[in-house]
Amino acid sequence: MALFSCFVIGTLFTISIYLLLSPNLLRWLLGIALLSSSVNLLILIAGRMVSEVPPFIERGYLKPIQQVANPLPQALILTAIVIGFGLLVFALILVRKIWQRTGNVDSYLLHSSEVGSNKAKQFYE
């Protein structure tokens, strides 16, 4: 099961890196979303999936009675999901603003602040 999950995560990483390399900013955004999710899965696998029992302690006991799921990766994943969500929303709004301002989402056309571009003149003013 863990081995199969590792292959799945590897495939997801491949797809997201392919999307990240795209000049189209919307595809890049999807790549970021998929990459964040894949890393969250990686944290889950790294914590060893030994049990699906929720990590609670019964009333009156000091330790869990049976083998419970590892709670630490769950905490890490929750944090990572929230952080990834915040960053993704920001990137989405940024892409939207670029689309509103330039009319396209092609990253090859975002060069007006670079040297040697014929659009560089209007930046330097």
Partner 1 sequence: MNNTWVALLPILICLITIIGCLISWPWPFLQKIVHIAGACFFMMATCTVFYAVSSSNYLVVSIGNYPPPFGIAVVIDHLSALMLLLTGIIAMSVAFYALVDIPARKQAYFFPIFWVLVLGICGAFSTGDLFNLYVWFEVMLIASFVLMVMGNSRAQLEGTIKYVALNLVATILLLVAIALLYGITGSLNMAALAAQIHQLPEDHFLWVVILILALAFAIKSALFPLYFWLPASYHTTSVSASAIFAGMLTKVGVYALLRLFTLIYIPEINGAILSLLLFSSGMSMLTGVLGAASQFNFRRILSFHIISQVGYIVAGLAIFKPAAFIAAIFYMVHHIIVKTNLFLVSGVVKKMKGSFNLKRLGNLYSTEPYLAILFFIPAFSLAGLPPFSGFWAKLLILQAALANQHLILLVAALTASFLTLYSMLKIWGHAFWRAKGADDSRPSLAFSEKAILIIPILFLITMTLLISIFPNLLYQEAKLAMNQLVNPQDYIQAVLGVA
Residues that bind partner 1 (CB under 8 A): 20, 25, 28, 32, 35-36, 39, 42-43, 45-48, 72-73, 76, 79-80, 83, 86-87, 90-91, 94-95, 97-98, 101-102, 107, 110-115, 123-125
Closest contact distance (angstroms) between CB of 105 and partner 1 is 10
Q: Which residues, in sequence order, are bridge partners of residue 106?
A: 24
Least distance in angstroms from the C-beta of 60 to partner 1: 23
Closest CA to 91 of 32, 41, 44, 10: 32
Closer residue to partner 1, CB minimum distance, 53 or 83: 83
Residue 51 neighbours by CB under 8 Å, 6+ apart: 66, 67, 68, 69
For partner 1, the closer CB: 52 or 125: 125
Which whole-number Å values give the CA distances from 85 to 8, 34, 54, 92, 116, in the listed order? 22, 11, 25, 10, 37
Least distance between partner 1 and beta carbon 124 (Å): 5
What minimum distance in Å lies between the beta carbon of 4 and partner 1?
16
Residues contacting 6, CB < 8 A, separation 6+: 45
